[in-house]
Amino acid sequence: MSDFLVYLMTGLGTGCGIALVGSGLVLIHRVTRVVNFAQGTFAVVGALTAISLLDAGLPHGLAELLGVAVAAVVGLLFGMVAIGRRGTSPQAALMVTLGLGILAYAVEVMLWGDQGRSSEGLSGAVTVFGARIQTHYLLIIGVTAAVFAAMAVLFGRTYAGKALSACSSNPYAARVVGISVTRMGLIAFAIGGALGGLAGVLLAPMNSMAFDSDVALIINGFAAAVVGSMHHIGRTLAGALFLGVAEAMVAGYGSATYQTVVALGLVLALMIGQAARTHSVVAEAG
């Protein structure tokens, strides 16, 4: 029972990190229709920046905050390259984000080397039903809950959030009412960068971060975003938590080697399921 609880909380913590990466993907896709394959890069940049600042003597909290801010700026810059030129198709922008992600490898290796680095998380643990749960996992869960609540308010209640949704719903109509679709897209990229950076600084104490850690993050984040049909933030969170817990259970009761296989298998099954559903709808319509 205590093992199960430990795996569950570990999985939820990891799932929250995945959810932050996935929600960044969804947010950017919602506003710009671009699948941003550089989303994992934002997490790496955020984490490595925060670790460097901690090494330089900055206190916890401030270092992580600056790491997230740098990731947001990187997100904005990536957005400017990917969608800044009017008329760039989402498909072309997708390829640009892929290229930028690879370019970022070179910059990251130059700045931080190619070895994985980790930071100290929140120390301490609490005991629940005999299971010892690290406090840092509770921090990740709490921060993620707050971020998702803020996003629900942003899109559900605020005027700016409605304008962001309007850009995805009908870009032409958005231009007609005077909303700058490009500016909104850049805002989405900056928020996406911040979400990725937040995932990075929160996950850095649990997994060491290197320039190529973005691959595992983007695979998991993309899997969660697919569960949310690249549109629904809440379903993305549910998908990410499921993935995180499933991976923790596989690692706990089986072997950690199969963690990524679980994520890939889930994405594959979902994509096949969604394609079959779409096909049957088209067949019925025909």
Partner 1 sequence: MNVSPPSPSDVVEVRDLVVRYGAATALDSVSLRVAPGEMVALVGPNGAGKSTLVNTLTGILTPASGSVEVRARIAQVPEGRQMFGDLTVDDNLRLGAWQMSGRGRSRRKQRDTSWVYELLPDLVRVRDRKAGGLSGGQQQMVAVGRALMSRPEVLVIDELSLGLAPLIVADLAEHLTELNREQGTAVVLIEQNARLALDLCSRAYVLEAGRIAAEGDSANLAASPDIARAYLGEAQGLPGPPDAQDDPGPDDTGPHDRATADPAPTPGTAKTARGNQGTTVQSARAAAQEAT
Interacting residues with partner 1 (CB under 8 A)? 159, 162-163, 165-166, 168-170, 172-179
Residue whose CB is less far from partner 1, 110 or 176: 176
CB of 90 to partner 1, least distance (A): 17
The CA-CA-CA angle for residues 188, 80, 108, to 5°, reads 95
For residue 164, the minimal CB distance to partner 1 (Å) is: 11
| Parallel, antiparallel or unpaired: strands 125-128 and 131-134 | antiparallel
Q: Which is nearer to partner 1, 89 or 255 (CB)?
A: 89
Non-local CB neighbours of 59 within 8 Å, separated by 6+ positions = none
Grouping H, G, I as helix, E, B as strand and the rest as coil, residue 229 is coil
Q: How far apart are CA 249 and CA 278, in angstroms?
A: 32
Q: Which is nearer to partner 1, 20 or 163 (CB)?
A: 163
Our CB check for partner 1 shows the closer of 50 and 225 to be 225
Specify the amino acid at residue 102.
Answer: I
Q: In angstroms, what is the minimal distance from the CB of 240 to partner 1?
A: 22
Measured from the CB atom, is 29 or 136 closer to partner 1? 29
Contact 143, 194 (CB under 8 A): no
Tell me the one-letter amino acid at 216: A
**CB 97 to partner 1: min, Å:** 24
DSSP letter, residue 89:
-
Query: Of 163 and 188, which has the nearer Cβ to partner 1?
Result: 163
The nearer residue to partner 1, 129 or 159, going by C-beta atoms, is 159
CA distance 41 to 49: 12
| Bridge partner residues of 127 (DSSP) | 132
The size of the chain, in residues, is: 286
Rounded Cα distance between 83 and 85, Å, is: 5
Smallest distance from the beta carbon of 72 to partner 1, in angstroms? 24
- Shortest gap between Cβ of 209 and partner 1 (angstroms)? 36
Cα 52 to Cα 58: distance, rounded to the nearest angstrom? 9
Q: Phi and psi for 283 in degrees, rounded to 5?
A: -65, -40
The distance of closest approach from Cβ of residue 153 to partner 1 in the complex, given in angstroms and rounded to an integer, is 15
Residue 124 or 157 having the CB closest to partner 1? 157
Shortest reach from residue 241's CB to partner 1, in Å:
25
* CA-based nearest residue to 233, from 3, 10, 23: 23
User: Two tokens at 35?
Assistant: 């699948």
Measured distance CA(194)–CA(68) in Å, rounded: 5
